[in-house]
Amino acid sequence: MNTQEVDFTYRLWRHDGAPGELIPLLQSAQEHFGYIPRRAITYISGVTNTPESTIYGVITFYSQFRLQPMGKHRIRLCCGTACHVAGAQTLLDALRDELGVEENGTTEDGVFTLFTVACLGCCSLAPAMMINDETYGSLTPAAARKIIRTIRREENKKAEKEKSVA
Amino acid sequence: MPTLTINDITVQAPEGATLLEAARTAGIHIPTLCHLPGVHAPGACRVCLVEVEGARTLMASCVTPAHDGMRVRTNSPRARNGRRDVVELLLSEHEGDCTTCARSEDCELRAIAREAGVKEVHYQGERRPTRLDHSTKGLVRDTGKCILCRRCVAVCQNVESIGAIAPQERGFGTYVGPAFHAPLSEVTCVQCGQCSLVCPVGAIGERDQVDEVWRALNDPHLHVVVQTAPAIRAALGECFGLPPGSRVTGKMVSALRRLGFGAVFDTDFSADLTIMEEGHELLARLRGALGGGPKHGPLPMFTSCCPAWIQFAEHFAPDMLHNLSTCKSPQQMLGALAKSYYAEKIGKKPEDVFVVSIMPCTAKKFECDRDEMRDSGAKDVDVVLTTRELGRMIREAGIDFTSLPDEVMDAPLGISTGAADIFANSGGVMEAALRTAYEVVTGRPLPSIQLEPVGPMAAGGVHQASIQVNDVVPAWSFLEGQTVTVAVVHGLAHARQLLEDVRAGRRSPHFVEVMTCPGGCIGGGGQPRPTTDEVRQARIRAICEEDASKPLRTSHTNPGVTQLYEEFLGAPLGERSHHLLHTHYHPRCFVAKAPQAQKATPKPCAEARPES
C-alpha cells in the first residue's frame, strides 16, 4: 500500500460518523483512485452515515472532484484572453481531432485527458498549453499534434517494453 | 423575551424566535416558500424578505433571530419590491404551464406571485432544464418546475431518514435528484410521497391515474368497485374548500356512486379484518414467547399496514423482516376479498371485477403493483387514486360535492366499526388492536389510552405505553399479571432509531405500530395540500369523532367480518386467510452495508477498488 492508500484506509477506519469529515474523505479517495469510483461513494456513505445522494451532491458541487478516471497525461489548454486571440480555438480543434475526445474527456487507452483552463499565467507564450508540469508555448495546431504524437510514441514504447518483460 | 416592533406594532417574541415566528405571533403574515415549521428553515427562497432598520440589506425573516429593540417593516415599499423581485426571478426560471399543471389549483408559487403583486416578469433568460422521472409507480418528478426550496430534501432526509434525493451540481445547473443521476426507482426511495406533500410547486406529485379509472368505468365488461381508506373522509372536503377536519363520509359515498362505481366499499371493513388477523397473530406470537406455545414469529411484532414502512424495512432492516406482521395491508385485503368472496357472491370472475382504491398515500400505488399482491388470481387492487386525484376526478365530472346528500357504503364489504376509523391516525392501529386483544384476553373493554400524537408532529415522533393485563380469561392464563409494552412511531427517522434501540436491547416492546407519514395516514403523501400541523390536528380530531359516532367500536364486533369468517374464511389465521390475507417480504439490495459491519472489516479499502 502506498501512503495515499494508507491514508484513505486509515481515515475510513477511524471515522466515528461525526459530520465535517466528508470532503477530506472524498479527497483521500480521489488521491487514491485518481477519481471517485461509485463503489467508494457507496462505501463512504455507509461509514459516514451520509446518504449517497448528499455525497454525490457534494462531489458534483466542487469542481475538484472527478467521477471518471483521469488519463496518465493531463493536457491543460489555455483559453485565456491572450491565447484565445492567438488562436486557442484552432488548437482545441486540433487536439480534439488528434485525441478523438471532447473537453474533459479521456482517451480510450487512458493516456490523455484534455482540459481547457481560463489562464495559465504565461500570456507571453500564447497560445500555450501544459501537459502535466511541462509548459509548451507559441503553439500551432501542427506543433501541438507533434507533441501529442511524441508522448504517445514514448508511451507505446514503454508499454511494449513492459510486455516483453512480462 | 425580546420586545421589538413590527410595522409599528410592539411584539413580544418568544425566546429564540425568528422574525418570521415573531411576526406570526402578532398575526402579521409574511409569505414563505421554503420554510417548513419544525423541519426546515434554510433561508433558500428569499421570499420572506423584510426591512430591518439599520441593516444594510433586506433580511430573510425565517432565519433572522428576533432581538430586543429591533424595528422591522414587512410592508415598506423596499420590502415589498424586494419580495416581488425575488418572486419574479423565481418565475423567470420556472418552466411550467399553469393551465395544464396538475398543481395549478393549490400552487404556492402561483399564490405568492399573486400576493406579491407580480403583474409581469421583468427578467428574461434561460429556463430550468426539465428532467422527468416517471420511474416509480407512485411519484413523478419534473425538475423544470422545481424552485430549489429543498423542502423535499429536508423531509426525505430528516423526517424519513431516507435521503433518496439531494441537490446535485451547482449554480444554474443545480437540480434536486438521487445520486448518480439515477431514477428514483433505483435508489432507496420508499415512495411515501411526503416530498410531494411539501413541494410548493408541481415539481413532485403523484402519478395521475384518473384516466385509467375513467376507462374502466366506461368498460361495459367490468364491474368496477371502489374502496376508501379511513383517512379520506377527514380530508377530501379540503379539495372543495371545506375547512380541514370536515367529516364528509356520506358525501364521499354519493360522489363515488355518481362517478359510476358499481359498489362503494370501505377499507374500514378490511381494517377490522386486519385487526382480527393481526391481533390473533400478536396473541400467537405472545403465546410462543411467553406462554410456551409453538413459536409463531419473533417479538416485537411490527404492523404491516404502511407500504412505505414495508419498503423501508426491506431496504434498511432486512434482518428484521420476520418481525413484520405477515398481514397484508387493509387495502390489499379488501382487494383480495373483492375478487374472491364478493366476486363469488355476485357470480363474476376475478378478472371481471376492477378494484379502485382511494388512498391518502402514494406508496399504495407501488404496493398494489407488487408481485405478491395477486392472490385472488388477478391483480388484487387494479388502480390506486390519492385523495387529491379523487378530488380532481369529482370536479372533472362536474359534481357539486358540497351539496351532495349523505349516503352509506354498500354491504358486505362496507360495514365497519370505530376501531377501523382510527387506523387513519398515528396510534390508531395500535389502539384498535389493543381494544380487540384486551377484550379477547380479559373479557373487559380496554381502559382509556392516549396513543394519538399531541402537539407538534411535523417531524414525526415516538410514543411508548404499557398495559397491565390482570384477571384474564382461562385460555390466556399465561398473560396473567404480564405488562405488555407497545410503541407507536410516525416518521421513519424515529422508526430507524427504534429499530436501533430494539437491536441493541435498549427497548423491548412487544408490539410496534409504524406509520411513515407524520401524524399517520391523515398526513399521508397523497392528501390535500397544504398539510400543516394545524391541518393534521383537525383531521385527527375528525377521525376521533368518526370513531365516537359509531355504535360499534371494536373490530371483533363487526357483523360483516363475523359473517365473512362464517361463510368464507373459517377462522383468523386459517388456511384461506393465510392464502388471501397474508404475505411475505424480500430484502432489497440498494443499501450500502451497515456502518458497524464495515468498521469491523480489516481492509476497507479493498472493498472500494475501481472497476478495472
Q: Please compute the mean of the pLDDT values over residues A76-102 and round it to a whole number.
A: 94
pLDDT digits (tens, 9 = 90+) for B345-403: 999 999 999 999 999 999 999 999 999 999 988 899 999 999 999 999 999 999 999 99
B309 has a pLDDT exceeding 60: yes
Interface test with chain B among A53, A56, A61, A65, by most B beta carbons within 10 Å? A53
Pick the residue from chain A with its C-alpha nearest to B316: A46
pLDDT score recorded for residue B224: 97
* B611 is a catalytic site residue: no
3-state secondary structure B104-135: HHHCHHHHHHHHCCCCCCCCCCCCCCCCEECC
A115 neighbors A103 (Cβ within 8 angstroms) = yes
- Contact list in B for residue A60 (CB cut-off 8 A) is 168-170
The Cβ of residue B579 has, within 10 Å, a number of other Cβ atoms equal to 13
Is the pLDDT assigned to residue B569 strictly greater than 60?
yes
pLDDT of residue B523: 96
Beta strand spans in B143-299 (E): 166-168, 175-177, 204-206, 223-228, 263-266
B422: DSSP letter: G
Instruction: Name which of A33, A50, A61 is nearest B610 (Cβ-Cβ).
Output: A33
pLDDT surpasses 70 at A13: no
B263/chain A closest Cα distance in angstroms: 45
Give the single-character DSSP code of B593: P
* The three grid cell numbers given for residue A117, joined into one nine-digit string: 483552463
Give B287-302 pLDDT, tens digit per residue: 998 877 788 889 999 9
Q: Is A10 on the interface with B (CB under 8 A)?
A: no
pLDDT category of residue B185 using cuts at 50, 70 and 90: very high
Choosing among A52, A62, A68, which should be mutated to test the B contact, i.e. which has the most B CBs within 10 A? A52
Domains and CATH numbers, chain B: 3-91 (3.10.20.740), 128-207 (3.30.70.20), 212-581 (3.40.50.1780)
What pairing do the DSSP bridges indicate for beta strands B71-73 and B49-52? antiparallel
d(CA B305, CA B326): 10
Question: Is B608 close to A29, i.e. CB distance below 8 A?
Answer: yes
Give residue A110's pLDDT.
Answer: 87
The pLDDT score that the predictor gives to residue B611 is 37
The pLDDT-based confidence of B602 (bands split at 50, 70, 90) is: very low
* Residue A14: per-residue pLDDT: 60
The catalytic position among B93, B212, B372, B545 is: B372
How far apart are the C-alpha atoms of A97 and B454, rounded to whole Å?
68
Chain B nearest-CA residue for A67: B180
Q: What is the ipTM of this complex?
A: 0.88
pLDDT value, residue B610: 36
Q: What is the mean pLDDT of chain B?
A: 92
Strands B3-6 and B9-12: antiparallel
Grid cell in block for residue B119: 403583474
Q: Say yes or no for a CB contact (<8 Å) between A9 and B167.
A: no
Task: Compare all CA atoms of chain A with the CA of B173 and give the residue at the minimum distance.
Answer: A61
pLDDT-above-90 percentage for chain B:
84
Beta-carbon separation of B179 and A8 below 8 A: no
Bridge partners (DSSP) of residue B550 are none
- What local confidence, expressed as pLDDT, does residue B596 receive? 41
B196 is catalytic: no
Please provide the average confidence, as pLDDT, over all residues in chain A: 87
pLDDT (tens digit, 9 = 90+) per residue, B127-181?
Answer: 888 889 999 999 999 999 999 999 999 999 999 999 999 999 999 999 999 999 9
A35 CB within 8 Å of a chain B CB: yes
Measured between beta carbons, the chain A residues lying within 8 angstroms of B492 are: none
Is B211 at the interface with chain A, CB within 8 A? Answer: no
Tens digit of pLDDT for each residue in B82-136?
999 999 999 999 988 899 998 998 999 999 999 999 999 999 888 888 889 999 9
